[in-house]
Amino acid sequence: MSIFVDETTKVIYQGLTGSQGSYYGRLNREYGTQVVAGTHPKKAGTDVDGVPIYANVAEAVQETGATASCIFIPAAGVRGAVMEAAEGGVTFIVAVTEGVPAHDEAHFYNQLKRDYPDVQLLGPNCPGIISPGKCNIGITAGHIAKAGGPVGIVSRSGTLTYQALYELKQKNIGVTTCVGIGGDPVPGTSFIDCLEAFETDPETKAIMMIGEIGGSAEEEAAEYIKDHVTKPVSSYIAGVTAPPGKKMGHAGAIVSGGKGTAQAKMEALEAAGVQVGNNPTEAGELMAEIVASF
């Protein structure tokens, strides 16, 4: 199985008529994803390579039965787009856009939790989600992912999401689902959300977790793993050599007051029974050993 999305998921692209939206929308559809609609209030009635454009998400949902949305619009419009998707009946939203203001993220995160608790938001500032061979929503290159399980991947780093997929494919190890949660300060989906879903997925036998410096998400995940996850986990934490007090890449990747260091996260994960690699390749090798033991 896969988590959150599969081959039956119908996806609306908010921003399909733009350059990035149309490019990745086409790639995702070629991969096999059911890209059933796009939205643009001024281009309703047109199409992009045969995919119909509707004025808004509610109309697209009504006409196509879509349950997921992918947002490819400028940062200033993401707050409105997220709420339009939720109000329009979508239950899974992927927001790829980077540079979304933190106060906007906090606003729609809390509004979704309060008014639309059944809606799952992934992102913003994330590569998206891929269930290899079934569905690809976002910007992950499909050819680097091997289908068939038994590993689930959750990653806070975009680039390392791709490397984790490629490391496993090189070792002929398939993936059930790979989720790039993004590294912004207010992510819609957390490590724990994914760990919980992988734990209950019968086809996911092991989990690979990629973290980075800054914040406390990895330490919180370690506590959750210790108490709730029975499946083996391998991990890598990026940023071992990052200087304290310096932002490294993501808005959330900043070490402050001695908290959020790579070393602290690695120690917390190891204490929870996670096998932690010193680099992405070693994390992949640790996972290969885990899979070989099945």
Q: Which helix (H) or strand (E) holds 10?
A: strand 10-14
Q: Which residues of 101-132 are buried (b: 16+ CB within 10 A; e: fewer)?
A: eeebbeebbeebeeebeebbbbbbbbbbbbbb
State the sign of the Cα–Cα–Cα–Cα dihedral 124, 130, 135, 138: positive
Give the residue numbers marked as catalytic.
Answer: 250
**What distance in Å separates the CA atoms of residue 283 and residue 271, rounded to the nearest whole number?**
17
Six-digit token string for 91: 């239950």
282 with 167: CB under 8 angstroms?
A: no
Alpha-helical regions (H) of the chain? 19-31, 57-64, 78-88, 102-115, 158-170, 191-200, 217-228, 262-271, 280-292
213 with 239: CB under 8 angstroms?
A: yes
**Amino acid symbol at 32:** G
263 with 213: CB under 8 angstroms?
A: no
Nearest to 102 by CA among 244, 254, 238, 213: 254
The residue whose two tokens read 């096999």 is 32
The DSSP code for 226 is H
The DSSP code for 42 is T
Kindly provide the residue ranges of all beta strands, DSSP E only, lying in 133-232, ordered along the sequence.
135-138, 150-155, 174-180, 206-212
**What distance in Å separates the CA atoms of residue 85 and residue 67, rounded to the nearest whole number?**
10
